[in-house]
Amino acid sequence: MKKLVMLWFVIAVAAFFIFTDLAWSTEFPAKIIKAEWLKENMDKIPNLKIVDLRPAEEYAKEHIPGAVNLPYKELRVTVMNVPEVRRPQEDWEKMMGQRLGIDDTNAIVVYTDKQIEAAGRFVWECDYYGHEKVALVNGGFDAWVKVGGKVSKEMPKINPIFYAVRKINSELLATNHFIMKHLKDPQYVLIDTRPFQQYSGAQPGALIKKRGGHIPGAINIPLGKFVNDGYLISPKELEALLESKGIKKDKIIILTCRTGNQTGGPYPLLSTLGYRVTMHDYSWVGWNEEDYLPGEK
């Protein structure tokens, strides 16, 4: 009985540290951190690199001291006629090492403006390419300013460095083929985070060249359900949201949207809470390139 009580105590303490964004070491407590936590712990994090995903003109006005700028539009590229997907491995390595001056020993904090899904997308790419020491600032730059964080106009010098991907976490990527293979597998649940008008096909959205609609069986939970004014919802709110859609924690969640951007909202939430989650990088714009793949409205 005493051992059982002790076990529950340890679990409770661990949950407290994760969900209140406190840390018992200099590592990140979770994939999502509060601006207050960063302000208090920034100088304690070894090999810290801060990445600002806002447009260059916003970054130039003011940014977190020491942050390097990577406008979000530069993060993703066109591959095999599919726009706005992850960079291939070698390009990603060059971006990290030569463009940002980051190597595989750095801990990365990323932030943006109210488009927090962009920061979540960056977190996923880091996770996929095996750079798992990464966290986003909940609320982005506005949250940093609200807690009295220092700002700067100084542009840090970037020293190009060699970066090598040590491993690829392939289970975090759902390809078109993978989805087709598991389309009727009850172990998987597909969540489409687009607005309903895009999901239904009524307004397909930019870059959709052929048909509107969605992957058969996908459940529509728009990005706005996961985000509130630039902040990700709480763990309790997320669990209630998924329960309302009949999604249990024993399922493997595949996230999809229009171009793989809006999935960046729920990804860090699900990952932090221990859900098994994978991203459909090509999303509907890539699915649409293959005429033989089914769709529905």
Mean pLDDT over 244-269 rounds to 96
pLDDT confidence of residue 15: 42
pLDDT band at 202 (very low <50, low <70, confident <90, very high): very high
Q: Is residue 11 part of a domain?
A: no
User: Distance between CA atoms of 30 and 33, rounded to whole angstroms?
Assistant: 7
Residue at 261 is within a domain: yes
Q: How far apart are CA 157 and CA 288, in angstroms?
A: 42
DSSP lists the bridge partners of residue 137 as 33
Q: Are residues 140 and 29 in the same domain?
A: yes
Does 133 share its domain with 193? no
* Beta strands, E only, 57-208: 68-69, 77-79, 82-85, 107-111, 134-137, 188-192
Mark whether 92 and 187 lie in a shared domain. no
Please report which confidence band the pLDDT of residue 137 belongs to, taking 50, 70 and 90 as the band edges.
very high
Same domain for 111 and 187, yes or no, is no
| Residue 146: strand, helix, or coil | helix
**Residue 192 and residue 76: Cα distance in Å, rounded?**
20
Query: Is the sign of the CA dihedral 236, 241, 244, 247 positive or negative?
Result: negative
Tokens of 70: 């990577």
- Whether residues 95 and 204 share a domain: the answer is no
Quick: pLDDT tens for 45-65: 999 999 999 999 999 999 999
pLDDT band for position 176 (50/70/90)?
A: very high
| Same domain membership, residue 212 and residue 137 | no
Model confidence band, residue 208 (pLDDT cutoffs 50, 70, 90)? confident
Percent of the chain with pLDDT over 70: 91
Phi and psi angles of residue 15, each rounded to the nearest 5 degrees, phi first? -65, -40
Q: Do 205 and 281 have their domain in common?
A: yes
In this structure, is residue 15 part of a structural domain?
Answer: no
Q: Alpha-carbon distance 260 to 243, whole Å?
A: 24
Asked if the structure places residue 103 within a domain, the reply is yes
- Does residue 1 belong to any structural domain of this protein? no
CATH of the domain at 118: 3.40.250.10
In a domain, 7, yes or no: no
The residue range of the domain holding 240 is 173-287
Cα–Cα distance measured from residue 226 to residue 245, given in angstroms and rounded to the nearest whole number: 13
Report yes or no on 125 lying in a domain.
yes
Say how far apart CA 253 and CA 10 lie, in whole Å: 28
Are 193 and 267 members of one domain?
A: yes
Residues 141 and 30 reside in one and the same domain: yes
Residue 10: is its pLDDT beyond 70?
Answer: no
Number of structural domains (the chain) is 2
Does 30 share its domain with 142?
yes
Residue 296 to residue 217: CA distance in whole angstroms: 9
- Asked if 101 and 203 sit in the same domain, the reply is no
Which of 128, 146, 164 is the last residue in one of the domains? 146
Q: What confidence score (pLDDT) does residue 27 get?
A: 61
Residue 254 lies in a domain: yes
**pTM summary value:** 0.90
